[in-house]
Structure 1
């Protein structure tokens, strides 16, 4: 398609090669992996994660252990550098403040900034929101992508060429690179979205320069919207989304990806770009979009959304793969660590309610609340297992973005923008203190075969 003069495999040739692959490569039986003690997905058989490292950045708490090793589920907690996320959310509410920038400082440097540090840091982020001269034209506008996560990952990699000290892995330089990327990524996202609208959606595009004195959330809304208008409540709600997504321990897929690359000694741009690639996957960062699609589907097919019995039975059909996309998943429900409650979901739920009723999204909000309430019961009845499930952060974040008028194209990119501070904090920790390449083992289970010369092969 892109290289018309270069020979390519025909569809029937590709199909034959696929058949060859399946014929000559033994199926990797999950039961065999369990018998050999393999921790598939780096998960223990009791559902807990394999301990792969230690961190001072954040703690994800979903259960206690009794002296005999029994796991006891407890209400979930998320702690940034020793400070509970609920405390941070309450501070934002009690003083009507934007708190994401403060959380960025906390994650990067380990303590809360004083008033002077906070003001200087906000100015520093504001200064770096404008991309290097020529970057937007050369790296974004001239090479549009239908997927913004891919465009953002490529843009981060491209920043390597604009950095005279790209390979310097000293602490001051990594922190400099981290702050720059945290400031620049929202602008990269909006620019990538605008050119995507023009090329792939055949819509008008518009570009706004950063406005002085804005928080990250205000900057995103101001540059995203054509008229640059937004309410304080809207910006506060987006700020809250950024804050609760800022980090989630060292073991989540994208953060672990960043730590794996950092352990090899590679540069900051390669490590953060790889983390964006991991977050792009629908099993990780793309789940909130799945939630919204499933929510629309449920509302279209349930006659009376207020009838718990009808909703419960429809959820049962989804789990049985009799309805929905055939995955058997109720998106927005279940988490690797949280089983009683996800603190991020509860924070977003409590703050989304007011806007949902004010903007006419009450039916969507109430259905999500019904799913949160009914799905654990249906899951227990259908799966007959000991594991409990609860709503995760994705159940309500997608609705918030929809209420803010944000395109679905930006749902996962917004997650990435929020998570960059956490990735950078874990990268610093990996480079400064771990100092050992991450290299787990894989057991070869294939069969030996003789070498047949090229002339003798059929």
Structure 2
């Protein structure tokens, strides 16, 4: 018998036994969270986050207090105090791409004037060049099926290429942050090209970035074999990057950035931790689930315009009879927003334009119908403490598919954008020199005596 076969025979039963033990000793009675007034997920029963810090970077607003009563209102999002609607209207009305301007605002606290913006765009353009041999040694020699892991591994590898990797002065962290903001599109796209070549056996095509192009334009240029794209396509991708760049200090990956930064660790370790958080399907990976859910809906609903048929199928999804049996309608609902997610509201208008341009109006209408019907189904089947509405992930995956972007890059696109917010929050944590973040956990284990090995 081979060593591998022997190990397989003894390993599987033992692992099952150990897994059962680990599960049994890890279970906590949910009633104890109520008894000890523990806010699970650091949120109260109404979904409001437990106050854990202060920030000047992003504000997420979804309710008002009137005579001690919480009243949900249409969601608002502000970057450095500027309403996201005003920011988007500003660069769209000027027929400009907005991600670089948004990056400057979030990182440095003010909108750049024309000369500052041009200079900043040029700076990012010159930074879009990975260290020598990095693509060959770090990306190509160890291709991965998951681009978030490629990003995390590459970020940690950057430590070895940085002579001042452990220098946490603001000036050095700004330098590191701007370089990573410039590097992320290259790492994600090149990581995908390596995966597509080695795993899917397709031709390996690597385009160098062009310094004169915007971040969104460069992504499409590097990703597509012919480097061609329309202005509308680049505009939609740029808008997606702007809307995902920041979302307050309490979202999981940004809070991770604060927590890890508070320990005094280096920039690359902090950002790698944030990437690990964003990878999860409850956070950055949600847009992939939305697209997969709609593939399932399109296969099982005959009349895409029939609200009753849509309602009935969404009921099956919510009762774990359909799709992935999770009981979730992905893209509907948010930890903070209840009446509306301002990012989804802004995005929807432009998504409709792209859908018409691509001849996918019927599919867009199906998305709109599900957006309308899903809250009704959820209200019908679930006890609700607050309303639900479509979040930005509801439409972002649809946009990426229309742009021909592979699913493997959906969450990395989120990271390409959110690295800006993470960087700003890391600097904020360093500047304010707070204590290491350490919330309390109450032990509920029963005391037991140590038993000698021979007596067990």
What TM-score, normalized to structure 2?
A: 0.97
Residue of structure 2 in register with 1:48 after alignment: 48
2:89 corresponding residue in structure 1? 90
Query: Residue in 1 aligned with 2:424?
Result: 425
- Residue of structure 1 equivalent to 2:312: 313
Give the distance between the partners of 1:217 and 1:355, measured in 2 at CA.
Answer: 16
Q: Trace 1:137-152 onto structure 2 (pairs within 5 A).
A: 137-152=136-151
Q: Name 1:109's counterpart in structure 2.
A: 108
Q: Secondary structure at the match of 1:10?
A: helix
* d(CA) in 1 for partners of 2:384, 2:185: 42
The gaps in structure 2 that reach 5 residues or longer are: none
> What are the superposed Cα offsets for residues 261-286 of structure 1, whole Å, 9 maximum, x if unpaired?
00000011000111011000000001
C-alpha distance 22-90 of structure 1, shift in aligned 2 (>3 A): closer
In structure 1, stretches of 5+ residues that fail to align are none
The normalised TM-score by structure 1 is: 0.96
Q: Does 1:401 align with 2:432?
A: no
Contact 2:128-2:211 at 8 Å conserved across structures: no
**Residues 180 and 439 of structure 1: is their aligned pair in 2 closer, same or farther, counting only changes over 3 Å?**
same
Q: Cα offset for 1:4?
A: 7.2
2:76 aligned residue = 77
Of 426-435 and 278-287, more deviation after overlay is shown by 426-435
Alpha-carbon distance between aligned partners in 2 of 1:407 and 1:431, rounded to the nearest angstrom:
36
CA separation of 1:22/1:185 partners in 2, compared to 1, >3 Å: closer, same or farther? closer
Instruction: Name the counterpart of 2:321.
Output: 322
Q: Map 1:277-292 onto structure 2 (within 5 A).
A: 277-292=276-291
Q: Which residue of 2 aligns with 1:295?
A: 294
Report the more deviating stretch, 317-326 or 140-149. Answer: 317-326
Matches for 1:154-169 after TM superposition, within 5 Å: 154-169=153-168
The within-5 A match list for 1:189-208 is 189-208=188-207
SS of aligned partner of 1:305:
coil
Judge which range, 169-178 or 26-35, deviates more: 26-35
State the partner residue of 1:265: 264
Measure, in 2, the Cα distance between the counterparts of 1:226 and 1:277: 30
Which range moved further: 447-456 or 52-61?
447-456
Kindly indicate whether the alpha-carbon contact (under 8 Å) linking 1:295 and 1:364 is maintained by their aligned counterparts in 2: no
Q: Secondary structure at the match of 1:182?
A: helix
Please name the residue that 2:211 is paired with: 212
- Spell out, residue by residue over 1:365-407, the C-alpha distance to the aligned partner (whole angstroms, 9 max, x if none): 1111001111111111111334210000011000100110000
**Structure 1 equivalent of residue 391 of structure 2:** 392
> SS of 2:427's equivalent?
helix
Structure 1: distance between partners of 2:137 and 2:281 = 29
3-state SS of 1:406 partner: coil
Is 2:316–2:322's contact at 8 Å kept on the other side of the alignment?
Answer: yes
Is 1:13 equivalent to 2:20 in the alignment? no
* 2:66 corresponds to: 66
Find the counterpart in structure 2 of residue 369 from structure 1. 368
Aligned to 1:36: 36
Whole-Å separation in 2 of the counterparts to 1:319 and 1:376: 11
CA distance, structure 1, for counterparts of residue 367 and residue 66 of structure 2 = 34
Cα distance between partner residues in 2 of 1:17 and 1:354: 54
1:130 aligned residue: 129
Could you say which residue in structure 2 is the equivalent of 1:249? 248
Report deviation, 1:19: 2.6
Partners of 1:384 and 1:262 in 2: how far apart? 38
- 1:212 Cα deviation from its structure 2 partner: 3.1
Give distance in 2, aligned partners of 1:6 and 1:82: 63
Could you say which residue in structure 1 is the equivalent of 2:275? 276
- The number of residue pairs the alignment matches comes to 453
The alpha carbon displacement at 1:53 in A equals 0.3
Distance change in 2, residues 1:22/1:435 (3 Å): closer
Q: Return 275-284 or 25-34, whichever deviates more.
A: 25-34
State the Cα distance separating 1:6 from its structure 2 match. Answer: 13
C-alpha separation between the residues in 2 aligned to 1:379 and 1:365? 21
Q: C-alpha separation between the residues in 1 aligned to 2:59 and 2:22?
A: 43
